[in-house]
Structure 1
Amino acid sequence: MDKRTKILFVFIVVGLMVFGSAASAMAGKDTDNKWNGNDHKNTDNSNSNREIKNVIVMVPDGCSQSVQTLARWYSGDELQLDSMVSGMVSTYMADSIITDSASAATAFATGYKTSNGFLSVGPNSATLLNTVDESAMAEDYVPLATVLEGAKLEGKATGLVATSEIPHATPAAFASHTDSRKSYDDIIEQMVYEDVDVVFAGGEDFLYEARGDGENLIEVLEEKGYQFVVTEDEMMEVGSGKVWGMFADKAMSPENIREESTPEQPTIEEMTTKAIELLSQDKDGFFLMVEGSQVDWAGHANDPVYMVTDFLAFDEAVEAAVEFAEEDGHTLVIVFPDHNTGGMTIGKRGTSYTDLTVEELVDPLMNGESDNEIGWTTGGHTGDDVPLWSYGPNRPIGLFDNTELATYVADAFGFVLDDVSVELFVDVEKAFPGMWELDTTDTKNPVLIITYNNKVAELPVNKNVMNIDGGAEIYLNGVVVYAPKADNGNGKVFIPQDAVDALKI
């Protein structure tokens, strides 16, 4: 089979798979044009007797199947993702048909819709779409447990990989809770104190140099026993244990210039492979989220070369994850974009569909040119459904809302996200009514003070530590979260249940 024939064959196979998924989804509609239970989705039960020990969620931020198609033409070969097509994902957020990355990541991290720019907290109910069921929404601004936090409570190792700076929207949603994705100081502090086992991305500046609160979170990580690495070589030398790898001051380099401009930075495939190597040493299993962050940035720039090369690098990371899953037999890999960006199509207004040759499509891209025959809808996001790719035991098949993917992961691991929220986020006023205050003497580093039964406890906001009567630090299951806009702007503070238990002994 020559290369052109192979490409055509792949197109046909993928098209049939997508058509089959769509047809089964349509069969699940009732006469009121609403989804009839879960009839629009299914699982691949061929390996249903296998326990799911590990879950790897992978997000090529900001793309759709058109990017997959272009990447196939560009590379001249089939992709790892081509064999994994299993459905579609709806992406709208609580207050708009078109989602942003923070609210999208919140949905598939927590199982709840939220508002624009919010990270794993409930929405602003005043801005909800009129089609949204308010009874299905979380309480305004309250923190929501994520699948990463649930996996951690189950004793599993956890990891985050991204090519953006680490406090960027998608990784941030899995390990922080705030109503503004721009609150980098709070976000990365929570991420450090969430005790994620393996973190690989850019963003070193946000641990110290670019902070407004004077904290040196690199020292905190080292005190917590983390290895801290900044180059590919240093990352490769890590054989076990907990590690933060920060490979750029802010975001990492785009793939199409990485090798020339920053050869010391690892590829997303190398970061994924190393993260799996380290996390899989945990006998209880692991959860890993990998984001190809800059596919989205290329879409915003309407730059197809940037977009397709970063997508192909991401596809190689998917291949590494699937190779591990094939050998392991107990790993579920779920891959989906958070939304589409740019609305790229392989076509152009005013150009006949018979005029475009393979060479006219591909040659400009091979030459690194962005001015070509590809059409764009916008420089922003779009509201269309996005592809779902998957591999492993009980892999998801059909049309899913993005919130249902969080539930899917939680079910695979055997926990309920709402139960995790109860364990991690206790309203301090309900636990200790009138017995607490928030000390904001240092406005950048507020401290919760609880006075109970002749004991005084201090709990710094955004951290997982507490001391009682000035004693030794007690390490908690989760971080203290301050939600200043909750309770109609009166503010609420949330603490883990183990902090309540420690005080009430």
Structure 2
Amino acid sequence: MKLLTKITISFIAIGLSCCNQANIENNKTIIKTPKNVIFLISDGTGLSQISSAFYFKESMPNYKRFQNIGLIKTSSAEEDVTDSAAGATAFACGVKTYNSAIGVDVEKKDLQNIVEIASTKNIKTGVIATSSITHATPASFYAHVFDRGQEEDIALQLHKSEIDFFAGGGLNFFTKRSDKQNLLEEFRRNHFTIYTDNLSDFSQIAFSQKVGFLLAEYKMPKMEDGRGDFLSKATELGIEFLSKDNLGFFLMSEGSQIDWGGHSNDAPYLISELIDFDNVIGKVLDFAEKDGNTLVVVTSDHETGGFTLAAKKRKKEDGSVSSDYREISPTFSTGGHSATLIPVFAYGPGSEEFVGVYENNEIFEKILKVTHWDK
């Protein structure tokens, strides 16, 4: 009996060991290193802005497709309420800085950004925005200036940067400058193919070394003014271009004008831009699901407008006002930014790292942790 007991225990131990090894292997599969990272930023978007898609979009919002969700605190180094420059610098460089700073710390020293880090690993990089490409958020991923208003100085840095693909507005910062330079010539000398009329097909740029699209003098048009699916198409084109050599890529794509709808307290403007951004999320998740090696991170630099999905106010016959809970009436509490916590949505290899409550600059750290680009 003793011998039989020993044999039985041995078999159980072996079985448990095999199960543990299988679990380890499964865990390795779950937390495998992503080859690509797509970082989607919806400027000025808090939870209420996201919620609006669930009430005003005609189809199910793509936000619903995420399982791993966290929250970030957005305060800058010196202010409780951040601006887009400090917020984007925290994302791009991993350091909290003062409001208006682009790629520099509180002592105005240059910070290394994720594009510069990834490029040392031969990772291809790109930035896309519905603002000018020199605006605060995209600029933070390639430029270093003391103040976000220095857009001509920011423009001077793009052709010298490690960026391989860009698309947005801002043509005048490159061609109608106070110093009379035409930076399109500088782009060509730095191996860029530049388009200023419309997005091309991939077949037109497949053999280009670097590509840029400057499709408006300043910002791109509003969705309400006929921008169409520029952001979705530019993001898809950027993915196709950056992945053509199969080296891995980092792409930041921003829905810039959700923020502007909040600043102007214009609910239809805000909601139309938010729905456009949600469509981009869908295109990116479709790619990531098929690819299997892409981490998708979706968040915002801050909330704008103190946006609320309030019940509609109705006046009764006696002159009193009541709330009609059967209908939503979007409202605002400010024309500026707020300090509310901001949701983070993540999908793909490494997405578990983005669950929890943490500071905005930790997104930079988490991306480098799961990709190992800084090793």
- TM-score class, shorter: 0.7 to 0.9
User: Following TM superposition, by how much is the alpha carbon of 1:303 offset from its aligned partner in structure 2, in angstroms?
Assistant: 0.8
- 2-structure distance, mates of 1:58, 1:109: 12
Instruction: Specify whether residues 385 and 353 from structure 1 end up closer, same or farther in structure 2 by C-alpha distance, changes over 3 A only.
Output: farther
Give the C-alpha shift of residue 83 in structure 1: 2.1
Q: CA deviation at 1:68?
A: 1.5
Q: Which residue of 1 aligns with 2:37?
A: 55
Following TM superposition, by how much is the alpha carbon of 1:253 offset from its aligned partner in structure 2, in angstroms? 0.5
Letter in 2 for 1:189: L
Which residue does 1:295 correspond to in 2? 258
Name the structure 2 match of 1:376.
332
**Matches of residues 54-453 of structure 1 in structure 2 within 5 Å?**
54-84=36-66, 86-123=69-106, 140-209=107-176, 211-234=177-200, 237-241=204-208, 242-259=210-227, 267-347=230-310, 355-358=324-327, 361=328, 373-395=329-351, 396-416=354-374
Q: Which moved more, 1:311-320 or 1:332-341?
A: 311-320
Distance in 1 of aligned mates of 2:358 and 2:27: 17
Match of 1:11 in 2: none
Conservation of the 8 A alpha-carbon contact between 1:47 and 1:394: no
What are the superposed Cα offsets for residues 237-262 of structure 1, whole Å, 9 maximum, x if unpaired?
A: 43342110011111001112225xxx
CA contact (8 A) 1:347 1:353 kept: no
Deviation at 1:281, TM superposition (A): 1.3
* Aligned-pair Cα RMSD in Å: 2.0
Read off the aligned partner of 1:86 and give its amino acid letter: I
Q: Secondary structure at the match of 1:258?
A: coil
In 2: Cα distance, 1:143 partner to 1:313 partner: 34
CA contact (8 A) 1:240 1:278 kept: no
AA partner of residue 115 (structure 1): Y
CA contact (8 A) 1:348 1:375 kept: no
Q: Find the counterpart in structure 1 of residue 3 from structure 2.
A: none
Call closer, same or farther: CA 1:45–1:308 in 2, change over 3 Å: farther
How far off its partner does 1:213 sit? 2.0
* Deviation (angstroms), 1:58: 0.6
CA distance in 1, matches of 2:83, 2:256: 13
Query: What is the deviation of 1:49?
Result: 4.6
- In the other structure, the counterpart of 2:10 is none
Deviations 1:144-172 (A, max 9, x none): 00111111111110000000001100000
Change in 2 beyond 3 A, CA 1:213/1:390: same
Report the 3-state secondary structure (helix = DSSP H, G, I; strand = E; otherwise coil) of the residue aligned with 2:310. Answer: coil
Q: Is the 8 A contact 2:142 2:162 kept in 1?
A: no
Asked if structure 2 preserves the Cα contact closer than 8 Å seen for 1:119 and 1:173, the reply is yes
Q: 1:116 to 1:356 in 2, by over 3 A?
A: same
8 Å contact from structure 2 (residues 295, 348) kept in 1: yes
Contact 1:103 1:116 (C-alpha < 8 Å) held by counterparts = yes
Output one character per residue of 1:382-404: Cα deviation in whole Å (capped at 9) or x when no partner: 00101111110120211121110
SS in 1 for 2:80: coil
* Residue in 1 that maps onto 2:9: none
Q: Secondary structure at the match of 1:150?
A: helix
Q: Secondary structure at the match of 1:311?
A: helix
CA deviation vs aligned residue, 1:61-80 (integer Å, no higher than 9, x gap)? 00111111112211133211
User: For the residues of structure 2 that align with 1:336 and 1:353, how far apart are their CA atoms?
Assistant: 35
Letter matched to residue 100 of structure 1 = D
**Residue identity opposite 1:355 in structure 2:** D
Partner SS for 1:104 = helix
Question: SS in structure 2 opposite 1:299?
Answer: helix
State the TM-score, normalizing by the size of structure 2: 0.86
**1:195 Cα deviation (Å)?**
3.5
SS at match of 1:174: coil
Q: Give, in whole Å, the separation in 2 of the partners of 1:235 and 1:184.
A: 29
Give distance in 2, aligned partners of 1:378 and 1:165.
Answer: 25
Q: Answer yes or no: is the 8 Å Cα contact 1:47–1:392 preserved in 2.
A: no
Partners of 2:311 and 2:326 within 8 A in 1: no
Unaligned runs of 5+ in 2: 1-25, 315-320
Would the alpha carbon gap of residues 222 and 60 (structure 1) be closer, same or farther in structure 2, given more than 3 Å must change?
Answer: same
Give the deviation of 1:46 after TM superposition. 8.3
CA change 1:68–1:153 in 2 (3 A) is same
For 1:77 and 1:228, the matched residues in 2 are separated by 36
Instruction: Give the drift of 1:197.
Output: 0.5
Aligned residues: 339
* % identical equivalent positions: 32
